[in-house]
Amino acid sequence: MPKKKIDSTHSVNKLRISNKCPLSSALMLLSGRWKLVIIWNLQPAVVRFSELQRAIPAITKKMLTQQLRELEADGLVTRKVYAVVPPKVEYSLTKRSKSLLPVLKKLYAWGEENNIAAHIAGMESARRSA
């Protein structure tokens, strides 16, 4: 994964925003289409890469790898590699990401209560019709 220049405008703005507000900092750490879904699917305990792929069929292997690397670099996921053939890699949540689970459970309940999946499907259908 290419490293961003520290003095780039994006990086400077990111630091300015995240230094001011805990909510902005949290959202930046968790930003990415799949990060929260990956954390959600790592709840059981230890999960192998192939199990994550099956649990999140819409994500590509490349994107799953990228998002897992970012989560690991940010201290939200632990990666354990076993020296066996074929290679065995397991992922699990860190203490910090486990503390996020009650929030995700409430977000999940909110999505269910407000039928958000159907709402988004309706919006997509309306966009295609327009």
pLDDT at res. 129: 81
**Mean per-residue pLDDT of the chain:** 87
Domain 32-129 fold: Arc Repressor Mutant, subunit A (1.10.10)
φ/ψ bin of 98: left (φ > 0), alpha (ψ from -120 to 50), beta (otherwise) = alpha
pLDDT at res. 11: 57
For the entire predicted model, the pTM comes to: 0.79
Domain chopping of the chain, boundaries:
1-31, 32-129
pLDDT tens profile 78-90: 999 999 998 899 9
**DSSP symbols for 66-129:** HHHHHHHHTTSEEEEEE--SS-EEEEEE-HHHHTTHHHHHHHHHHHHHTTHHHHHHHHHHHHHH
pLDDT at res. 44: 80
pLDDT tens profile 41-69: 999 889 999 999 999 999 999 999 999 99
Tell me the one-letter amino acid at 104.
Answer: L
Under 8 Å between Cβ of 89 and 48: yes
